[in-house]
Every structure is written in structure tokens, then in C-alpha cells.
Amino acid sequence: MTFSIYVPCTERGQSPPPVLYYLSGLTCTDENARTKSNFLNKASEYRIAVVFPDTSPRDVYIEGVGNDWFFGLGAGFYVDATEEKYKNHFNMYTYVNDELPDLVNSFFTVDQTRKSIFGHSMGGHGALVSALRNPGAFRSVSAFSPVSNPTKSDWGVNAFKGYLGNVENGVEYDTVELLRKNSESLNK
């Protein structure tokens, strides 16, 4: 998997910077937000490391993966695929929440105890789901125009049927459904 990272200068005696994981939307790569968002000035000013993962595996040759712009390449939907055709490569949930932070922590000096997650569109969906399924893992979660109820959207239905076999399996990756479930357990 490809990712980009910005780590601000750290002077001797300064603590490592906090880290923000930025999840992009459909069709994006690790380059989109990094090159178009003008993040560098503020990330430098506030000493925040920013990680930009790709939105799906690349150079994966699975029949049908590149046929739709909203499924497959550039559209991993931040889920762990369970369907045989995709389950070896499309595990973006585990990648973003487990593998990538371990990789970043192994090679870069950042403070993983002060990590946050942000996303836009499909990435907003990924950020919200990551925070809801991992309480306490992130200092903050933010989303801009997220796909927040994907079991009820055409894009989500298509992704969940493809990666998970059916829409019902997508409930564990649906912000609205996760909030509903958490709300019910809190009210008991």
C-alpha cells in the first residue's frame, strides 16, 4: 500500500508531534489531499504529522475491479472484504486502524497516543466508522461531507454487496447504524 506522510520539524527536547490520519474519498489516491489541500502551513505551524493513505490497493488484478469508478480501485470503502474475490486485498479497515499506525510508528517519530482521524466523503465514512468501532483510539474525529448511512445509499449498497456479500453485513460499517446500536446499549 502506498501512503504519504508529512512530519514537522522537531527540535531537540520537543515532544513528538501528534498525528492526523486523513482518509480521502472515492477515486482518490494518497496524493489528492496532500497536493490540493494546502495543509502544509497549518500542519507546520501547529506541529501535526499528517498521514495520507491510499483509498484502495493498487496493482491488484481482479476481474471487474476497475469497471466502476465507485467500486474497486480508488473505492475500498474502508471495510474488510469478506467475499472470496476481494478478501485478500481489500482490507482497508484493518489497514487504516491497525497496520498503518503500526507502520507509521515504526518508521517515524510521532505521538500515537495523540492520534486523530479525518476524512471526506467516502473517507469521512471511514473516519467515523473507525472512531465509533474503536472508542478511545482517537483524540478527535472529523468528517467533511461523509457517506454516513451507506446501507441506504447506492454507493454503499454497491460496495457492501461486492465486498461483504450483502447490505446487511454492511451495518457494522454504517455510522447511523453504529450510533443507533451504541445509543440503544447506553439506554439500557
CATH number for the domain that contains residue 80: 3.40.50.1820
**Is beta strand 141-144 parallel, antiparallel or unpaired with respect to 111-120?**
parallel
The sheet that has 3-6: what strands, in order across it?
3-6, 49-53, 18-23, 111-120, 141-144
What residues contact 12, with CB distance under 8 A and at least 6 apart?
none
How many domains is the chain partitioned into structurally?
1
Q: How far is the C-alpha of 18 from the C-alpha of 14, rounded, in Å?
A: 12
- 188 residues of the chain, pLDDT tens digit each: 899 999 999 888 899 999 999 999 988 988 988 888 888 999 999 999 999 999 998 888 788 777 777 788 889 999 999 999 999 999 999 999 999 999 999 999 999 999 999 999 999 999 999 999 999 999 999 999 999 999 999 989 999 999 999 999 999 999 999 999 887 655 55
The domain in which residue 96 lies consists of: 3-186
Q: How many residues does the chain have?
A: 188
> Which residue do the cell numbers 502506498 mark?
2
